[in-house]
Chain A
């Protein structure tokens, strides 16, 4: 092997080493803060609800809190975060509801498809950032369950994660790009007003009705195709048993309200594994003495729906009434 070839091989090795080591310079540790959680718990303490609703956009596009208070005669609060899933709901119960000291008569968690037993669903990226806001310094259950996620071949994802600590990196550069774009296009409104304005403008109520979940490709859980994995309520691989345990500790009645996904409400033939999954889920809930409620798909006209499985703002009050009529007897029976 000649000198020139050796040089080129060393250059190649140098290239590979520098390429993979440069990103190590940016390993930063995350900073813990309790401020956000404390604020939420204080709000909840002040509201002192008798009915507490927890969920994601399936909840806040369905229920009008004022209307529900009016027709139920009870104080109602809502902890709803768009795109949230079981990990978030577990943290809300553990780190917001429990420390607030409130004792609602009913806690109702809205869910869809197999989301209750898909622990890793929406725990990365900005969903992960939100979860961090809700976490304590030590979260053994979260760490244990997320560690049991399906592994990539040879655990390569975990290795990359361990080396570069991607999840712990502050997302300052990403938000910096957004802020820079907002700054250079500022005319009269402040950045905060514009961000709030955009949230309102792109609210699910203003989205096109013809763009379904399937088209946007945001169906990693098989929500629309109904292909969940087998039902698994094990303590180390699902947040569901922990959520039920927390409700027991709080001495509150816990209910789960299943909203129908696109295929369920359009009477599309459901796959056998999904039917089995729902059966096992219901059996499990019965065995743990929690109430399982479900949306009555046939009573909801198609024109009530906005984008995907959300209810349009024009029909939210009607839906809230339907919801209350549908569940009130079951709730009263649990008292």
Chain B
């Protein structure tokens, strides 16, 4: 089921109405049933997959606790099962295609299977979430749960099931086990957050998507058109993915559960480290805790640290999709981080400029680098990617520049609400006086009016070509 559908509106209303009349145990049973219904709405067999992951990980975590002498063995079983399922569905076609291509290089003509494996939505997200629980149990950070119901709900919790944030047991599972009381303020702020998410998806992301799709569907786009399109995609992917997170967080909040923030205004980042602290935070921290640190993290020699960074980001790229462009994108960000590390060690004045102009310059450079990354991320055809990157800005006609500038301006206008939100969010963070105002009548009326305006904007400005969330494909 997709969030921006009438079906979801009805589903959510039904769940919320029943939910708050129940006690904790029944609330969790309802949420589990609702989550499986949500996930199996289009393809019922998806439920079988998630149930398999749940049962295997539940049993392995229990076995790790009851048989500490064989805990490594049970961890291996859990990880092997999880990642085998993930590889079978996500990477099978990719590996087969590459083997065939490699064979052709040696003059061997073999044909691949005629069928394609359908990628179940959200498999990368819930696999990582479930795996983190078993690893945490293995490390002794989290206790293995007796109650399979709560654990199954932790894996399948519908607001964040399909595109994250990737939660940890220490946080979400604990929240699911804690009694929840109806709170009108949280319901109000949850609905507001959902509306903001719908606005970002339907008005910003889907409208700028028409620009990026247009620009990057040309056979011979000029330099300004390519980069106008890439800028539009840069806005699109942030609005789209953060919209999903906001709707997920808003939904969870109406249910009395807090899930983590996945974005913190990534485009104000001034360096690659800062960017990855702000973009897809739950995935970055997952890779940090379960890949980078076990590889040695920062506690080893400098060449080894760089290798750890590269390996982590290559895996992060591969996580996004079974295609070479994602691996290159991961490598690209790994290289940026390595370069940043080298520069900040040897030239601290460059990485930490004292002047405002210096910081502004740093932000512009980082933003351009992020855009280049998005071009790699989006373009799956290597020959077009190369053509786009090597496009020259010289000798381009005035008409082409004006089209590119128009793409840029249109995307920037649509991105204005994101900029305003970023500014207000920065201003409000840590402002206790602001927080205390939120229950005052004036504030409620202002918030309601803003919600009404968001609703008007959604009704009037929503794109005619609404698409699925980009991160559904991962």
Contacts and interface: CB of A to CB of B under 8 A. Distances in A.
Contact of B460 (A26, A197, A206, A307): A26
Contact of A23 (B218, B403, B455): B455
Contacts of A126: 464
B98 interface: no
Contacts of B444: 11, 14-15
Interface residues on A, range: 35 or more
Contacts of A197: 399, 403
A194 interface: yes
Contacts of A21: 452
Contacts of A185: 402, 405-406, 408-409
A62 B353 CA distance: 60
Interface stretch (A44-52, A170-178, A225-233, A323-331): A170-178
A169 B7 CA distance: 24
- Chain B interface category by residue count: 35 or more
Given A181-B410, A187-B398, A152 B6 contact: yes
Contacts of A34: none
Interface string B201-238: 00000000000011001111000000000000000000
A181 B413 contact: yes
B219 A206 contact: yes
B7 A153 contact: yes
B448 A18 contact: yes
B455 A19 contact: yes
B307 interface: no
B188 interface: yes
Contact of B451 (A18, A180, A194): A18
A8 interface: yes
A30 to B, nearest CB: 14
A202 B408 contact: no
A28 to B, nearest CB: 10
B363 interface: no
A332 interface: no
Contact of B399 (A22, A154, A189, A207): A189
Interface stretch (A208-216, A238-246, A258-266, A285-293): A208-216
Contacts of A211: 217
A19 B455 CA distance: 7
Contact of B461 (A11, A157, A174, A209): A174
Nearest to B468: A217
Interface of A: 5, 8-9, 11-12, 14-23, 26, 124-127, 152-154, 156-157, 164, 166, 169, 171, 173-174, 177-178, 180-182, 184-189, 194, 197-198, 201-202, 206-211, 216-218, 307
